[in-house]
A and B are shown apart, each in its own frame.
Chain A
Amino acid sequence: MTMSLGRRAVGVPPARPITAGREAGEMVAEGVCAWFGKRLVLEDVTLTMARNEVTALIGPSGCGKSTFLRILNRMHETIDGAQLAGTVSLNGTDIYGLEQRAVEVRRHIGMVFQRPNPFPAMTIAQNVLSGLRFNRLRVANPDEVVEEALVKAGLWNEVRNRLKALGGDLSGGQQQRLCIARALALRPSVLLMDEPCSALDPTSTRRIEQTIGDISHEVTVVIVTHNMQQAQRVSDRCAFFLAGEDEPGRVVEEGPTEQMFGNPDDPRTRDYVNGQFG
């Protein structure tokens, strides 16, 4: 009982009945640094991910984008020896506050991973409902939740007749959209996507991008991508991460996507978005 009181006392929205719509949230990261063991991998990142916008995190590999993304829903701390500094807040509440529970935070901030990872022992429908089940959220109409989530993820038409098939039986692109549906079924305020298309073919990539566009008016999306065209196509804002040799990653520049691609302030950003290096 004390635990639920504690949860209510802080600003992260408590669980609401899943049937009620939830508005997108605003995430603000301030002075975020990250370490793996003694090594500083991310330094002083300050970024605002505005409500209902798609923010793309771009930059070469190893510059801390994924680490930053994982910090946004407290997946970072699941790695041994991982540390961080700074604050991350969702709608004004620090998600790393000592009274916050990581499990609770992750429910509100969904995540889609680089490689599609539906639960192989569950059916498609069970996969979609898994988040609800994990959080012991009872819904009166599970079938509707499944349909709604799959429709939003753009997968409904393809799987409506085989909801009882196993998640692993789908193609790679379908699997990834199933993972998006799975995350959306929890009605998160923010959806984090870690290179969601890097393991997919161009057609599936296109579908995922459409999906991102469709869901962005009800959830704030943060997407890590290596693909400049993709960033340009899907995002409203961009942040360019960069790390030097033996140096932590930092945000070089961030701003509206048009400006970042059309008329960036920093020469390094211009070189990167135009694909000119090395």
Chain B
Amino acid sequence: MTTTSVNSTPGQHRFHLGQGPAHRRMRPREFGPTDIVLAGLTLLAAICTAWIVFDQLTLLSGMLGFVVVTAAVFLLYYYVLNRQLLGRRAASDRLMGAVATLAMAAIMTPLVLMVGFLFERGAHLLSWHVLTTTQQGVPLVCVPHQHCAQAGVFHAIVGTAEQVGFAMLLGVPAGILTAVYLNEVGGRLAHWVRVIVTAMSGLPAIVAGIFIYSIWVLKFHFSGFAGSLALAILLLPTVTRGTEEVLKIVPGDLREASAALGAPQWRTVWSVVLPTARSGILTAVMLGIAVTIGETAPLLFTVFGSTTTNWNLFGGPQASLPFLIWEMVKLASKSTIDLAYTAALVLFLLVFVVFLSGRILGSPWLGSAVRSLANRRSARRRVALEEVADR
């Protein structure tokens, strides 16, 4: 194939296996160092062209336009170049790869920009003081030339922790149990439950909010608990779908082996199926929780917000991080936007930590490390016990 010809040329002499005592290892590649250099040069050329176009024609303004033009020029140059070097077929192949790579880079850009933005605006405002104080006694909007104390987000962290914690308590077990029902128990109803769970996983968050408002808040007033209920409605289908995906992968062999040993079904599920799927379930659950932490819409009409710390999940309005950001953005003054940045950074870090711990707990590497650690510890304990017994 023409595609490989460029790269296989330097490797050809390696086929003389008998010549040297040491065989040079060869790794056939479709996209080798030469191609990387070529692509880099093309990119450079594209940037130069785009710059000229921008300077001369000024069709577009701003960074965005420059990037778009660069990408287009790059694709054109890259195609023409590869067509000259490798032919039409290989060039269209390369073009497709370049398009896919650019698309990947494009979708990563917002994340990078957003994280950069949060740190740029929020990092210098973040302090121990902000994390441990509330908005109590601080005027919401600080008039210029008036000295205002620095408001904190402690009350919102407490609210978010309690609301999400309770939502987990409701949503995670129910979600896992529903997945177990779908995958292990089944029955005539299972098909409908699966359809409903899928439909619910696309339920607009705001609908969950007004639903809880109409069945709970109207009668029992605002509270963190109402927020938890709304969050749990959103968390449950995520957990169920994630868990079901993992349970499907657990080989049927294991269930049979367990049944053949005389295990009742609950035993099989509890001791064989769930432990085997543990890491996958953990990842799914933690992803669900990470998403839940940042939900704003379900809290708008359920927790009501507060400027002081309310430890009681069940009594009265409670603050929460996303809700605080929403309120502060709506007020749109310098001091409130600053508080919004701080809260947004805290919220992002919280989401990130939960997300990352899900990945780490779910990774096979750590799973086995933890297990071997536990084993070593129990072995050590046994040795210690035996020593005691010997004495």
Q: A119-B254, A119-B276 are in contact. Are A110 and B271 (CB under 8 A)?
A: no
B246-284 toward A: CB 8 Å interface, digit per residue (1/0)?
A: 000001011011111111100110011001101000000
A114 vs B216: C-alpha distance when bound (angstroms): 56
Residue of A nearest to B375 (CB): A164
Q: Does A171 lie at the interface of the complex (its beta carbon under 8 Å from any beta carbon of B)? A: no
* Cβ of A268 to closest chain B Cβ, rounded Å: 32
Q: Does A39 lie at the interface of the complex (its beta carbon under 8 Å from any beta carbon of B)? A: no
Q: Does B138 lie at the interface of the complex (its beta carbon under 8 Å from any beta carbon of A)? A: no
Q: Does B96 lie at the interface of the complex (its beta carbon under 8 Å from any beta carbon of A)? A: no
A104-142 toward B: CB 8 Å interface, digit per residue (1/0)?
A: 111110110101010111110000001101110000000
- Chain A's interface size range is 20 to 34
* Cβ of A82 to closest chain B Cβ, rounded Å: 13
A105 vs B268: C-alpha distance when bound (angstroms): 16
Contacts of A120 in B (CB 8 A): 254, 276
In the complex, identify which listed stretch (A30-38, A83-91, A179-187, A231-239) lies at the interface while the others stay far away. Answer: A179-187
Contacts of A52 in B (CB 8 A): none
Residue of A nearest to B378 (CB): A164
Contacts of B368 in A (CB 8 A): 166
Name the one of A73, A103, A119, A121 contacting B257, with C-beta atoms under 8 angstroms: A119
* Cβ of A177 to closest chain B Cβ, rounded Å: 14
- Chain B's interface size range is 20 to 34
A191 vs B254: C-alpha distance when bound (angstroms): 18
Which residues of B215-262 are within 8 A (CB) of A? 251, 253-254, 256-262
Contact between B263 and A73, CB atoms less than 8 A apart: no
Residue of B nearest to A73 (CB): B260
Contact between B256 and A78, CB atoms less than 8 A apart: yes
Contacts of B263 in A (CB 8 A): 103, 130-131, 134-135
Q: Does B38 lie at the interface of the complex (its beta carbon under 8 Å from any beta carbon of A)? A: no
* Cβ of B175 to closest chain A Cβ, rounded Å: 21
Name the one of A130, A133, A135, A164 contacting B379, with C-beta atoms under 8 angstroms: A164
Contact between A134 and B267, CB atoms less than 8 A apart: yes
Q: Does A75 lie at the interface of the complex (its beta carbon under 8 Å from any beta carbon of B)? A: yes
Contact between A103 and B264, CB atoms less than 8 A apart: yes
Which residues of A135-179 are within 8 A (CB) of B? 135, 164, 166, 179
Contact between B262 and A117, CB atoms less than 8 A apart: no
Q: A121-B276, A164-B375 are in contact. Are A183 and B259 (CB under 8 A)?
A: no
Name the one of A107, A121, A166 contacting B272, with C-beta atoms under 8 angstroms: A121
Contact between A183 and B261, CB atoms less than 8 A apart: yes
Q: A130-B271, A134-B271, A164-B375 are in contact. Are A117 and B259 (CB under 8 A)?
A: no
* Cβ of B135 to closest chain A Cβ, rounded Å: 48
A182 vs B375: C-alpha distance when bound (angstroms): 21
Residue of B nearest to A122 (CB): B275
Name the one of A122, A166, A182 contacting B261, with C-beta atoms under 8 angstroms: A182
A77 vs B268: C-alpha distance when bound (angstroms): 17
* Cβ of A165 to closest chain B Cβ, rounded Å: 9
Q: A117-B254, A134-B271 are in contact. Are A75 and B262 (CB under 8 A)?
A: no
Contacts of B261 in A (CB 8 A): 106-107, 110, 130-131, 134-135, 182-183, 186
A131 vs B268: C-alpha distance when bound (angstroms): 10
Contact between B258 and A119, CB atoms less than 8 A apart: yes
* Cβ of B258 to closest chain A Cβ, rounded Å: 7
A130 vs B275: C-alpha distance when bound (angstroms): 13
* Cβ of B312 to closest chain A Cβ, rounded Å: 40
Contacts of A131 in B (CB 8 A): 261-263
Contacts of B260 in A (CB 8 A): 73, 75, 106, 110-111, 113, 183
A90 vs B46: C-alpha distance when bound (angstroms): 82
Contacts of A122 in B (CB 8 A): 275
Residue of B nearest to A108 (CB): B262
A21 vs B276: C-alpha distance when bound (angstroms): 33
* Cβ of B269 to closest chain A Cβ, rounded Å: 11
Q: A121-B272, A134-B271 are in contact. Are A113 and B379 (CB under 8 A)?
A: no
A64 vs B139: C-alpha distance when bound (angstroms): 82
Name the one of B253, B264, B271 contacting A113, with C-beta atoms under 8 angstroms: B253
Contact between B253 and A106, CB atoms less than 8 A apart: no
Residue of B nearest to A118 (CB): B257
* Cβ of A185 to closest chain B Cβ, rounded Å: 9
Contact between A106 and B271, CB atoms less than 8 A apart: no
A134 vs B272: C-alpha distance when bound (angstroms): 10
Contacts of B379 in A (CB 8 A): 164
Contacts of A134 in B (CB 8 A): 258, 261-264, 267-268, 271
Name the one of B262, B268, B278 contacting A186, with C-beta atoms under 8 angstroms: B262
A106 vs B42: C-alpha distance when bound (angstroms): 69
Contact between B278 and A106, CB atoms less than 8 A apart: no
A120 vs B368: C-alpha distance when bound (angstroms): 11
Apart from A130-B263, A166-B371, A186-B262, list 18 A-B contacts with CB within 8 A. A75-B259, A78-B256, A103-B264, A104-B262, A106-B262, A108-B262, A113-B256, A115-B253, A119-B257, A119-B271, A122-B275, A130-B261, A130-B271, A131-B262, A133-B271, A134-B261, A134-B262, A134-B271
Binding site for B on A (CB under 8 A): 73, 75, 78, 103-108, 110-111, 113, 115, 117, 119-123, 130-131, 133-135, 164, 166, 179, 182-183, 186
Binding site for A on B (CB under 8 A): 251, 253-254, 256-264, 267-268, 271-272, 275-276, 278, 368, 371, 375, 379
The list of the 5 closest CB pairs from A to B, nearest first, reads: A107-B262, A134-B263, A121-B275, A111-B260, A131-B261
A-B contacts, 28 of them at CB < 8 A, read: A73-B260, A75-B260, A78-B256, A104-B262, A106-B259, A107-B261, A108-B262, A111-B260, A113-B257, A117-B251, A117-B256, A117-B257, A119-B275, A119-B276, A120-B276, A130-B261, A131-B261, A133-B271, A134-B261, A134-B262, A134-B264, A134-B267, A134-B271, A164-B375, A182-B257, A183-B260, A183-B261, A186-B262
